[in-house]
Chains A and B, each alone.
Chain A
Amino acid sequence: MSDEFTTDELRHLARLARLALTPGELTLFSRQLAQFLTYARQVQAIDTSGVRPTSHPLAGTGALRPDQERPSLSRDEVLAQAPEADPAAGLFKVPRVLGS
């Protein structure tokens, strides 16, 4: 990774992150991400050969409960939080998915 991101690289990342960044944001983040990654390069100098990664502070699977049926949140209450929904049909509504 070079010290700078190209605008194309940033656009690609924004697509992966599903963010419609403005040109101003692309320029700003390009500089700021490069600055952080330059700082973070110290991590690459540390010898980690044979070291297992830690993805989580807890060993094992955590505390599991019995797999029993229980009440869940009410569908109507959940749908009431949606920007757009069809409560009678029990559906969230979104803009057109296919074509343009």
Chain B
Amino acid sequence: MKLESARAIAQAIRDGQASAVEICRAALGRIDDADRRLNAFRSTTPEAAVQAAAALDARPEAWADLPLLGVPVAFKDNICTRGVPTTAGSRILEGYLPPFDATVVERLARAGAVFVGKTNCDEFAMGSSNENSAFGPTRNPWDADRTPGGSSGGSAAAVSARLVPLALGSDTGGSIRQPAAMCGVVGIKPSYGRVSRYGLLAFGSSLDQIGPLATSVADAALALQIIAGPDGRDATCLDTPVPDLLAALTGDVRGLRIGVPRDHVEGGLDTGVAEAFEQALDVLRREGAEVHDVSLPHSAAGIAVYYLISTAEASSNLARYDGVRYGYRTQRAESLGEMYDLTRDEGFGAEVKRRIMLGTFVLSSGYYDAYYLKAQQVRTLIRRDYEVAFERVDLIAAPTSPVPAFRLGERLDNPLHMYLADVFTVGANLAGLPAVSVPCGLAGGTLPVGFQLTGRPLEEATMLRAADAYERASRFSRLSPQL
């Protein structure tokens, strides 16, 4: 049994072709075998996973109600799992065992999924390459000398290498979509408020969303369906009901209007990415969609606005890591103040400290108005650009990343260069919109390229319908790396 399609696995178990325990052991075996090279996983939970799978095998009467029956899943290591290490890729959380499960973890378990491990990520989800993990970088399954993207690079690599068919990541400025693109898998960032953030270690609270990575739009849609919806433990999780996302995947995009922000997209694109993107638009045209030019005049300021706002929020959110209640504490401190300062200096890595410093600066007296407030005002203009564009089109298309996977180390010395990898993804977070990345080809015949569709707020159904129709017509999601 290939660990490729979540729905096929659930069906195979229901049909008696495989047991949940067999599937679970297969996934654990794949991880043992392949992960020494990839470093996609931070930890695995073999005993608990086999036990959970066995419990499913013992309850056939419940199978009909479990859409993810026996499907092995992995969670990014910034999603809390009760009693299982949750480090967010940081030394400062080494040894931390959350006393609770995130809402998304509970919901996937209730749908029959079997949790097999936690995936590596950039420290506190701050990065675009997984190189900021305190526990070593993850490698791209398509080319081990390259990064998988980030920050959900472990989840993307795990699904790409078919170690698990489904994983969750988090997306603050592109951290699901960009690694999905670079690893050749599907990744969804839901609308802000669609999925509960309870149990997600906060980075930028007005930007963060949890979402799925999978090998097909349909699997990702199914997972989103399960994790989305109201949750009394997160006041920013909307009461709005979630439509039937699988039923929305009709394959029909006739008359759908797709906008391309040409002024934003052109310039600085890798030629392989540009070609794959134009071909994807052609496929959608052939399927009956209309492609129009649209304008997002303030998108050029997106990266600056995003890093001003997200670092400000991060500097506040990460104040809680102080060596008192959980995780790491310095051994060198003589006083409480010294304990805070040294714990944080020793516990956080360079990128996290850099962002805390930047965020502290933009919020500090004398600079707040010039940087933070100004960025929030431009955020309003960026949102309005999308609102205006969405009066004329139903979806906005762009490459997910301007370049395919870059080499390990290539951008590490220049943080600004690394930040620019997010140029096409931050807009959806700033505006709270849903966005999906779907594989659309191989640049130079070797490295995956992602096609991004962005929808109106809470219109995941339309967005996924188009992504699925594209996937059916192009079949690039079926490509997998040779390991």
CB distance from A77 to the nearest CB of B (A): 4
Stretch at the interface among B32-40, B102-110, B256-264, B368-376: B368-376
The residues in B between 373 and 394 inclusive whose CB is less than 8 angstroms from any CB of A are: 373-381, 383
Complex Cα spacing A19 to B146, Å = 32
Distance in angstroms between the alpha carbons of A54 and B377 in the assembled complex: 6
Whether a CB of chain A sits under 8 angstroms from the CB of B341 is yes
Q: How far is the CB of A80 from chain B (nearest CB, A)?
A: 8
- Taking the closest CB of chain B, its distance from the CB of A68, in whole angstroms, is 10
In the complex, the chain A residue whose C-beta lies closest to that of B207 is A57
A2 at the interface (CB under 8 A from B): no
* Contact call A19/B238, Cβ cutoff below 8 A: no
**Inside 8 A of B300's CB, which chain A residues have their CB?**
42
- Are B431 and A43 in contact, with the CB atoms below 8 A? no
- B-contacting residues, A52-100, CB 8 Å: 52-58, 61-65, 73-74, 77-78, 80-84, 92, 94-97, 100
B154 to chain A, nearest CB (A): 23
Question: How many B residues are at the interface, by size bracket?
Answer: 35 or more
- Could you tell me if B358 and A95 are in contact, using CB atoms closer than 8 angstroms? no
Chain A residue nearest to B239 (CB atoms) is A63
- Is A27 part of the binding interface, using a Cβ–Cβ cutoff of 8 Å? no
B305 close to A35 (CB less than 8 A): no
The CA of A74 and the CA of B340, in the complex, are separated in Å by: 25
Distance in angstroms between the alpha carbons of A53 and B312 in the assembled complex: 15
Residue in chain A with minimal CB distance to B325 = A82
Given contacts A54-B376, A92-B324, A100-B334, A17 and B360 within 8 Å (CB-CB): yes
Whether A95 contacts B334 by the Cβ 8 Å rule is yes
A39's partner among B96, B237, B416 (CB-CB below 8 A) is B416
CA distance A3 to B353 in the complex (A): 20
- Are A20 and B344 also in contact (CB < 8 A) when A36-B416, A58-B236 are? yes
Interface size class of A (residues with CB under 8 A): 35 or more
Minimum C-beta distance from A96 to chain B (A): 5
Chain A nearest CB: distance from B85 CB in Å? 11
Tell me if B70 is interfacial: C-beta within 8 Å of chain A. no
Interface centre among A16, A57, A81 (most CB of B within 10 A): A57
Contact among B237, B301, B335, B457 with A95 in the assembled complex (CB-CB below 8 Å): B335
Complex-state Cα separation, A38 to B315, whole angstroms: 20
User: Is B356's CB within 8 Å of the partner chain A?
Assistant: yes
Q: Are B328 and A83 in contact (CB under 8 A)?
A: yes
Q: Please tell me if the beta carbons of B319 and A29 are within 8 angstroms of each other in the complex.
A: no
Lowest 5 CB-CB distances: which A-B pairs, in order? Answer: A57-B432, A53-B376, A83-B329, A20-B341, A48-B377
What residues of chain B have their CB less than 8 Å away from a CB belonging to chain A? Answer: 96-97, 99-100, 192-193, 206, 230, 232, 234-239, 298, 300-301, 303-305, 307-308, 315, 319, 322-329, 333-336, 338-342, 344-345, 348, 350, 353-354, 356-358, 360-361, 364, 367, 370-371, 373-381, 383, 415-416, 419, 430-432, 457
Interchain Cβ contacts under 8 Å between A and B, 9 examples: A14-B357, A18-B341, A19-B345, A20-B338, A25-B345, A48-B374, A53-B377, A63-B234, A63-B238
